[in-house]
Structure 1
Amino acid sequence: DVIQQASLEDMMSGNQSASALASYDETALCSNTFRILKSMVVGWVREITQYHNVYADNQVMHFYRWLRSPSSLLYDPALHRTLHNMMKKVFLQLVAEFKRLGSTVVYGNFNRIILCTKKRRIDDAIAYVEYITNSIHSREIFHSLSISFSRCWDFLLWMDPANYGGVKGKLPSSVLYGEENAKENKITQGEEDEDGSEEEAEDNAEEDDGDGEADEVEELIESSWNIMHYLPQTASCQKYFLMIVSAYIAAVYHSMKEELRRNAPGATPVK
């Protein structure tokens, strides 16, 4: 199909028809090309879902990179702008869906989303994220999205992608490596525990309850503050900035843990 075009002179004189498109309307003029690319991508997705075609999977993975890179032969500014606008619409719908299900979106882009689940325990947060992920995948518009865990935080102090800090959480092995590998690890650990003695386990538990907990928190704190480099190096300003922020993160984390212990089941005082 050939789209009827109208020049700027025709538009100013009013001679063009109402349905005519301006010759400089790049987004509308690339609609035919976009339709062809759409049918091609749909064919790739069909090959992936029905026949598990590895080559089609690679094409889908690199398609957007080819379309957005100025050095690529497939690059076209209008086509890239059209696709980017549609991706933005889908992304905004995804963010709205996360909010509708009760999450708080801390940060998000086309590659990753950081969520605040408002859960105090990692197990509860993982179960909640699995629930909302399954709920999102149940919608037709999000069928082709691949959402997976990357990392978790017990406490996160966030400013922007270049300035953040927090206490890293430990994801269960079933989430990181899959359920089968997790079962193998449990069996291996069980065999090792049988060889050990119960007295050594009790001694280690008592030692860990003391100073080991504070040391563990310090090791789990991760800080990445780009604004620190803009402070003067004299009088150890950068070092003290990092120490103060890390101490604040540790203090808030310990306060949260203490509150969680007080509100644990069975810990309610009886009057």
Structure 2
Amino acid sequence: MRLPEEIEDPQDISDHVILVGLGRNGKHMARACKKFNIPYRIVDMNPVIVENQQAMGLPVIYGKGSNESVLKELGITSALCIVISSSTYDETIKTIDAARRLNPDIHIIVRTRYLKNLDDVIDAGADEVIPKEFETSIMMFTRIMDYYNKDVDEITDAVNDLRSNNYDAFRSVTSEDISTYLNHKYTNLEVDSLRVSEDRSIDDFPFTENSLTITGVIRGKDTFIDVTPHFKLLANDLIVFVGHRENINKFFDAI
């Protein structure tokens, strides 16, 4: 199953993102790429999904991301970035290998199921790895935006757009998971967190003043993503946010 005729020629696109996998995260990132004028192509192994999405005008083909012919059809040699959300670890590793061989300079972002796979996937050739424990539709798209040199305001708009459409920002994660993840920084845009010691409100903290974007509040087993400035925090809540390191440092200095 090939790309629709009007977008079939891989020479017609360059400096684009290739999305491997059209699950929930893939659909969210495709929508965000379109909204923010980032060129993209998609590959997925479900022929029904591919046919339906092609009928809606999405630039998607059927196949494996690890297949060199499929990657060439997607214009891998002229792509700037590839985002891999394969369902299996083996397929992820094979896709990394194929992408890197066909385009040594391509920037590879990977979702992995477990934190324990992070180092293995980096060793296989990925530039950035985001564990599945961290909901990836937002985190992975902020990486794409950052890599395309989008400014902080554009990234914030993208995150808010995803959140406003009820896309999950984070799954339930433990503070230990977050600490482990924060030790692996592969981009200028970083994730950090703040544990609340007493009942407060979001607007008690200078997130906006320091250009930081809140992606979720974790309370026990619950995760809240629709966080307004007046959101009521309880003692022991964990606020998770995104920003540049210098702004994060200024934030912590101010509280």
Q: TM-score, normalised by structure 2?
A: 0.23
Higher relative contact order (CA 8 A, sep 6+): 2
Indicate the structure with greater helix content: 1
Indicate the structure with greater strand content: 2
Q: TM-score, normalised by structure 1?
A: 0.22
